Amino acid sequence: MNQYLTRIYQALFGLVWRNYPLARPQEISGKDAFYRLPYLLIQAGKHNPLIVTGKRIATGDEFATISQDISHYVLFDQVESDPSIATALKIAKAYTDNNCDSIVAIGGGSYMDAAKAAAAHIANPKKSLYRMNGILKVRKKTPYFIAVPTTAGTGSEATITSVVINEKNQRKVTINDPVLVPDVAILDPSLTLSLPASLTAQTGMDALTHAVEAFLNKPYLTADTTQLCLDAVRDIVQNLPKAYKDPLDLDARSAMLNASCTAGKAFTVACVGYVHGLAHAIGARYHMPHGLTIAILLPTILERYGKAVEQPLAELARYAGIAEGSDSICCQAFIALIRQMNKAMGIPEGIEALKEEDFKQLASYCYQEVVPLYPVPVIFSEKELVEILRNVKEMGVS
């Protein structure tokens, strides 16, 4: 599709999509909110949840406490990072084999996304999960779903999206459907206190990128979504350095968890952009953590957008209290702050592991994800994406 037709598509799709009545999860926030999980299940009339979580949570004190108040549940704890469709299908099988009536996903993005993909399959078992890449492919009611994020990054607890890997070709499959928005999001900052510093940094930069990329996608923005982006960016730039420096800073952890959810609510409407398109392609090919790849790519892509993003980035910079003055000055200050935050949190400037022979394919995968769905401020060609990849590699070498 050429650029002109792409822009027409986005304008027309945006007219419908930005006013689409998307459901939002019921948010239960605050320290010890996690302990309300048994009550929420009972209140919803659910008595046999499938709990998808990792061994760290499943063997922890908090889980021991809540599990006493859940009369019966089935535990699934075999989710790898960057989960495959095969794993999602195993979760779906555990659900049906045990006659479960609800899903509780406790963990980072991998747990929530694998469980959401499983929910898509449970709702629509006749349609292969391998063919659900794209938007509005599920369209059937999914099981009652409670999401409990233990990282402040993915925002999956508030989005229509599940990202899983097609293990047959190592490509990311992005399933987008309003039925995938969880019914409840439990935002308990105490569950994030033990997150290692590197993960705090990477997931936090992912959350920042969700808000920034959404803010740049003008055709899909509403006044409400715009405000969500502004608030999320302000709260993340103010609190991520604090949470990184002092992992036990409960106020900073709480602000980050809420901001991550806020960014999730924004990008589920306004979408993301080339940072995510490239990160999905790179992550699937080299098995790099999503947040780390995102953090590295963000400043480079923003610089490449050039003048087209000067005004919106300046607006974000002013709102977050980063800079004052002309658009040009504020925009530069915003990108400089991102580089500075990355550096302070030990995130490298480039990715040395990228291989030149992969660039064309990575660019093609990225382009296919972004165009025409994401209304990015500048449409890069596959050739330009190869140049960006080369640049990111060079910065990783020097």
Give me the 33-62 binding string for Fe ion, x by CB under 5 A, dash otherwise: ------------------------------
In the bound state with Fe ion, the residue whose beta carbon lies nearer, of 206 and 231, is 206
CB of 208 to Fe ion, least distance (A): 10
Closer residue to Fe ion, CB minimum distance, 124 or 225? 225
Which residues does 168 contact at the CB level (< 8 Å), separation at least 6?
130
What's the closest the beta carbon of residue 72 comes to Fe ion, in angstroms? 35
Please report how close the Cβ of residue 290 comes to Fe ion at its closest, in angstroms: 6
Nearest to 275 by CA among 264, 262, 287, 291: 291
Which is closer to Fe ion, CB of 183 or CB of 206? 206
> Residue 265 Cβ, how far from Fe ion at the closest point, in Å?
14
Least Å from the CB of residue 145 to Fe ion: 20
Using the minimum distance from each CB to Fe ion, give the nearer residue, 10 or 174. 174
Taking residues 197 to 226 in sequence order and writing x for each that binds Fe ion by CB under 5 A, - otherwise, the string is ---------x--------------------
Nearer to Fe ion, 82 or 206 (CB): 206
Q: Which is nearer to Fe ion, 206 or 310 (CB)?
A: 206
**Residue whose C-alpha is closest to residue 47's, from 99, 96, 106, 1:** 99
Q: Write down how long the chain is.
A: 398
**207 or 333: whose CB is closer to Fe ion?**
207
Residue in the shown chain whose Cβ atom is closest to Fe ion: 206
Smallest distance from Fe ion to CB 89, Å: 23
Are 134 and 372 a contacting pair, CB within 8 Å? no
What b/e sequence results for 322-340 when a residue is b if at least 16 CB atoms lie within 10 Å of its CB, and e otherwise? bbeeebeebbbbbbebbbe
The CB-of-275 to Fe ion minimum distance in angstroms stands at: 8
How far apart, in whole angstroms, are the C-alpha atoms of residue 258 and residue 262?
6
Binding site for Fe ion (CB under 5 A): 206
